[in-house]
Amino acid sequence: MASKPRAAAVEPGREPVVQVKSVLNEVRETQLAVDLFRLGARLQLLEAETSLSRNRLIKLYKEVLGGSPPKGMLPFSVDWFLTWQPNIHASLFVAIHRQLQAGTSEQGIEIIVKAYRLYLEQMPPEPGHDPVLSLTRAWTLMRFLGSNMLTTARCRCCRGEYLILPQGHYQFVCGLCKVPSRAGKTRKVLDEVAALARA
């Protein structure tokens, strides 16, 4: 993609322009932070994706959602993405993300948020339940893919793309084509995912 033109070097006496820019950037990042918190993002995600201070982010979280942000480490294991139901949800998210990315020059967190909203439309959580794939997990997933800790493979039965380990086997069959017996009740979900993954 074409790189954006860079702003000219700051000349003496040009500070007001820079200040306006940084105020606009702060507004943009604050709006992004509000969106991300509302979608369930963890504080660490915000710290990585915005330049807002931790204190600022905590205040913002309390204002938007009430209460304090949850503490604790981010999920940091590829294993979760390889278990049956998470794998299908996460693979669907990747398929949506790739489709969006192919049609835009946008990158990074904005496109992750767009893809995540579409994922929620396709896979709305059961009333009173959290979505299977959280935004923080979706974000972590894109990092795993970027660092080749995970990759995707085409299922030889349905031709859909699914998440596997980079050293995964060549003749790959996905969890939709080889459904574990305990997963039978989610047939509708499976059909939707298969259709999207093939798109």
* SS3 of residue 151 by DSSP: strand
Q: Is 195 in the site for Zn ion (CB under 5 A)?
A: no
Which of 120, 177, 179, 183 is in the footprint of Zn ion by CB under 5 A? 177
Packing angle, helices 54-65 and 15-38, rounded to 10: 50
- Provide the minimum distance between the beta carbon of 141 and Zn ion in the complex, in angstroms, as a whole number: 19
Strand partners, 162: 153
Site for Zn ion in 137-166 (CB under 5 A): 155, 157-158
In the bound state with Zn ion, the residue whose beta carbon lies nearer, of 153 and 155, is 155
Half-sphere exposure at residue 40, Cβ-oriented, CA atoms within 13 angstroms: 15
The size of the interface with Zn ion (CB under 5 A), counted in residues, is 6
Name the residue nearer to Zn ion (CB basis): 88 or 96.
88
Whole-number Cα distances in Å, 164 to 13, 31, 32, 45: 55, 35, 31, 24
Residue 158 CB, nearest approach to Zn ion (Å): 3
Binding site for Zn ion (CB under 5 A): 155, 157-158, 174, 176-177
